[in-house]
Structure 1
Amino acid sequence: MNTPRTASNELPQDKELVLRVVPMPADCNANGDIFGGWVMSQVDLGGSVLPLRHSRGRTVTVAVNEFIFKQPVRVGDILSFYAKLVRVGTTSMTVQVEVFAERLSKQGQFFKVTEATLTYVAIDDEGHPRTVPPLPV
């Protein structure tokens, strides 16, 4: 990881807080860090909030377009997930998610630990794609 491990007191102003969670010891990998798959599942949960709201109904994840682990996540970190709907097609919606960790020892300082871009599709009760409204201008 070549990303500098700098803390900031700033959180994204252009994204919405969609999830906050604290990882526990059961979520650790063999190295003692939080398992990447656990982080990915939380990103998917948080990332789905805005498409669910925008489409006013069921959505499914169809693609993880990009997923970058910038820093390890530790047990007890307070993770804050910020999302923004960046593209809306006929049935699909693309969301950017940024994850920030507030370390127990450094309260009030935030480290970006993960960023991802995911695509969701709105579906009807039979699981078929359905049209979604355009993004407001």
Structure 2
Amino acid sequence: MTDPGWAGRKAVLTDRLEDKPPAVSAITLAHIMGPGDTNLYGTVHGGVVMKLIDDAAAAAAARHSGGPAVTVSVDQLNFLAPAQVGDLLKVTAVVAAVGRSSLDVLTTVFAERWNRPGEERQIVRAFLTFVAVDADGTPRTVPRLLVESSEDRAREAEARRQRSRR
């Protein structure tokens, strides 16, 4: 079946307003860092990591909202440790809180040597905010977040604190 693109889904977008738990839209991306990903210091460039974070967070926001969502802000992006060439980066993104048309997504990045599984270390943590948009770029309503576990509640509370600081 051919994908009609977002314009062809405009009518479907408004039909996806059932509550959704965070697990439904959670994303994990993995990418091995190569020589082209480095900065002048020989470590992985922060911008490369930030792109992976934005890609994963956007996918989680789009899954939850049932259509496109655009990045509005990146809050509290903390680089905790550098990544090296040959590291496998795993980026996880999960919707932590939602507003009427906005979604706060928590992302974490872990690095491990591609040939030494199990020795991973957290290198980045960030919150990103997205706004769900229709085919014309107008904000649209998103499903409510169905908070089920204590972990879900803790993420939501942290996202709301982050939002109040913004």
TM over 0.5: yes
Residue 82 of structure 1, CA deviation = 1.5
Contact 2:27/2:59 (8 A) holds in 1? no
* 2:30 corresponds to: 20
Structure 2 stretches lacking a partner, 5+ long: 1-22, 148-166
Determine the structure 2 residue equivalent to 1:130.
140
Q: Indicate the SS of the match to 1:118.
A: strand
Query: Which of residues 56, 63, 77 is equivalent to 2:66?
Result: 56
Distance 1:17 1:102 in 2: 18
Within 5 Å, give how 1:28-39 maps onto structure 2. 28-39=38-49
Change (3 A) 1:133 1:50: same
Q: 1:49 to 1:68 in 2, by over 3 A?
A: same
CA contact (8 A) 1:34 1:75 kept: yes
Q: What letter matches 2:125 in structure 1? A: E
Aligned partner (choices 74, 91, 113) of residue 81 of structure 1 = 91
Q: Which runs of 5+ in 1 are unaligned?
A: 1-13
Equivalence for 1:4: none
- What is the SS of the residue equivalent to 2:92? strand
The question of 1:69 aligning with 2:79 is answered: yes
Q: Where is the strand percentage greater, Structure 1 or Structure 2?
A: 1
Corresponding residue number in structure 1 for 2:111 = 101
Q: Percent identity?
A: 40
Pairwise CA distance, 1:16: 4.0
Could you tell me which amino acid in structure 2 is paired with residue 92 of structure 1? S
The structure that is helix-richer by fraction is 2
Normalising by structure 1, what TM-score?
Answer: 0.84
CA distance in 2, matches of 1:45, 1:82: 10
Give the 3 Å change call, closer, same or farther, for CA 136–58 of structure 1 in structure 2.
Answer: same
Please report the TM-score for the alignment, with normalisation by the length of structure 2: 0.70
